[in-house]
Structure 1
Amino acid sequence: MYYIGRFAVKLLMSLIFRISVQGANHIPEQGALLICSRHISNWDPLLIGISMKRPVSFMAKEELFRFKPLGMLIKSVHGFPIHRGGNDRAAIKTALHILSLGGALVLFPEGTRNRTGKGLNPLQRGAALLASRSQAAILPVAIIGPYRLFGKVRIVFGEPFVVMPEAAKAAELSIAEFAEARIASAMYDVLEEATRDSAHS
């Protein structure tokens, strides 16, 4: 079912946008993977999913599931609901379970869409929490829009890394604090690279 849904989404995306993918060689082929991306559109998780060979799961705001056809499509590509504005323990439990099975999970550490399309909003602690509890590899991603009909959208994958408890201890930080700092730094780095390359293309 996943690959059928993925094919449908990929076909739709290719008709609407001109998609460019950079750094796909950085994507680990297996093992627990936390994909941390800038968030500029509701299209983001679907676009990341079709840019990777391995299956991915992602959280989507609960409101999107209220329209049943859209909810069915999101579920078919491994999307699951999260209730915003609070600590959704069920969503966190689902996310940790996916990672414990060696799955790949797309997460948007900004917590909500970056409506300016510039830089990064302050990161929420969800990604750091999942990273510290799962020991998953972290893959930073930058998406460069804007999303518009037949417009070019670039997905740039940075180099993956693992948050090591020894490094957190050496920095005199908790592993969650260290994970938050490393994720923010990696996301800024890949975004700067993507923005610089877009300016020269």
Structure 2
Amino acid sequence: MSASLPVPPAAAPLGGPAGGPGFPSTPTAMVPGARSVVRSALRPVLRRWLRLQIEGTRHVPDDGPVLIASSHQSHADSLALGVAVRRPVHFLGDVRLTQWPLLGPLLPGLGMVPLRRGEGDAEAMAVLRGLVADGRAVAVYPEGSRSRDGRVHRLRSGLGRLAAETGVPVVPAAVAGIYDVWPIGARPRLLGGEVTVRFGPALPPPAATPRARREFNDDLQCRLAALGRTTCADDFSPFAGGAVG
């Protein structure tokens, strides 16, 4: 049996009750610098745990605002992306993940913006707009939920709207092998595994029309599947731990 780490507390399902005692009422954007002590200390540890291989980092600009649109199969996707990119990367995460033993309290220092699920998309979008306006690199999972079957599912509308509103380029990314390191509904494996992060050429933001955003999503979905060496699904990935269809 594989060695594993403790399971973090269960997150509230999207649309369910938000927060609780000790949880912040609004998200706080931690902004780790390139010399952040937490970030500097954890990057080599995580890189060894993931046995990380990285392809295409030249597509991620060294400065200025950028949206990194990634496939999503595991809670560890954000950790892999944060290690793969030289500059600090921000991502939204359920505030309850900060209660995970050992690593949880350090997540904001790695770039996680704690968000209380169930508060609605408007709050999350406001946080992302603020980070982009500040010239940050922000990782977004346009499927909206982790894939249960390894395919890239239909993309939801949030990323296309954000890119259109802000005029920020979108760099596609895929994290291959991450499911074996931290599967859905299971414990992360203490011994880690082999993970490859691949980045593709940046896409210009779509025009602010429904048709342009749909075409953008269709193109991006195909690019994510190609980077992940997988296929596209015609349905959305289910929220809150839905089973594989």
State the TM-score, normalizing by the size of structure 1.
0.81
Q: Structure 2, unaligned stretches of length 5 or more?
A: 1-31, 182-188, 231-245
> Number of residues paired by the alignment?
187
Residue ranges of structure 1 left out of the alignment (5+ in a row): 194-201
Residue 91 of structure 2 is aligned to residue 54 of structure 1: no
Deviation at 1:97, TM superposition (A): 0.9
1:163 aligns with 2:200: no
Please state which structure has a larger fraction of its residues in helix.
Answer: 1
Q: Structure 1 30/175 Cα, relative in aligned 2: closer, same or farther at 3 Å?
A: farther
Q: Percent identity?
A: 26
Structure 1 segments of 4+ aligned residues over 4 angstroms from their partners = 67-71
Report the alpha carbon displacement of residue 69 of structure 1 after superposing the two structures with TM.
Answer: 5.7
1:34 aligned partner: 67
Aligned mates of 1:89, 1:70 — CA distance in 2: 28
2:130 is the counterpart of 1:130: no
Alpha-carbon distance in structure 2 between the residues aligned to 1:154 and 1:182: 22
**2:47 touches 2:83 (CA, 8 Å); kept in 1?**
no
| Offset at residue 156 of structure 1 (A) | 0.5
Matched with 2:195 is 153
Structure 2 CA distance for partners of 1:110 and 1:83, relative to 1, 3 Å: farther
Q: Could you give the per-residue CA deviations for residues 31-52 of structure 1, whole angstroms, max 9, x where no partner exists?
A: 2111011111111112111111
Structure with higher strand content: 1
CA RMSD of aligned residues (A): 2.4
Distance between the aligned counterparts of 2:104 and 2:71, measured in 1?
23
Q: Using structure 2 for the length normalisation, give the TM-score.
A: 0.68
CA distance change for structure 1 residues 161 and 59 in 2, over 3 Å: closer, same or farther?
same
CA contact (8 A) 2:72 2:145 kept: yes
Letter in 2 for 1:155: V
Shift in Å at residue 85 of structure 1? 5.0
